[in-house]
Amino acid sequence: MEIKITTNQILKVLCVLSWVIFIGLCVEAGALIVNTVITVFINPSGVQNFWEASDYLSNLYALDKGHFCVLTSLMIIVSVFKALMFYVILNMFYNKKLNIAQPFSNELAKFILNLFYLALGIGLFSRYAMKYAIWLQEQGAGIADLESLDIAGADVWLFMAVIFFLIVQLVKKGIEIQNENDLTI
């Protein structure tokens, strides 16, 4: 007995996974924003609510509130960009602008270009946050665990941005060829 998995089934599973990831990233971004606001403006002991990064961030907050705000702002930007990336993906699922009969479209190019910009932003802000955390470490702010700060992996995001950019160029070439074929028919 052979079970055949269709593309439509795979897309439905990917849509569900995208929702799960999107919700998780929104919770992470919201928690970072709320914890930063609470720590800076309401209760400084709120720094303990930063999960694995609480030790480093509490030392940083005690050392300098300005550096704390800069680093948490960079963490917030990275997490919001990640959530936006999955919002763009979910938006593509629900707008149904992908036409299988003509796969190369301006909507597809715009979609991938948006993913390129977001991946590039994540990579650049992650890289800056990583360099900033290392600089803070050199200044005596303690040892930063870049994984727990969710700012590690900038090179992967930048690599992904390059891949998205290449795919956008291929899609644009596909649009040109598709338009030429439409004119010759």
The pLDDT tens digits of the residues spanning 140-177 come to 777 667 777 778 888 999 999 999 999 999 999 988 88
- For the cut 80, the answer to whether the pLDDT of residue 67 exceeds it is yes
Please write the tens of the pLDDT for every residue from 95-138: 877 766 677 888 888 999 999 999 999 999 999 999 998 888 88
pLDDT at res. 52: 63
pLDDT at res. 184: 66
pLDDT at res. 165: 96
pLDDT at res. 22: 96
Q: What is the DSSP-derived secondary structure letter of residue 149?
A: T
Count of residues in the chain: 185
Please write the tens of the pLDDT for every residue from 16-46: 999 999 999 999 999 889 888 988 898 887 7
Q: What is the DSSP-derived secondary structure letter of residue 141?
A: S
CA distance 131 to 139: 12
Which whole number is the average pLDDT over 49-58? 70
Q: Specify whether the CB–CB gap between 71 and 77 falls below 8 A.
A: no
Cα angle 179-163-99, degrees, rounded to a multiple of 5: 35
Closest CA to 18 of 114, 85, 115, 80: 85
**Which carries the bigger pLDDT value, residue 184 or residue 181?**
181
Q: What is the DSSP-derived secondary structure letter of residue 10?
A: H
Residue 53 confidence class, pLDDT cut points 50, 70, 90 = low
pTM to 2 decimal places: 0.87
Contacts of 117 (CB under 8 A, 6+ apart): none
CA distance 75 to 65: 15
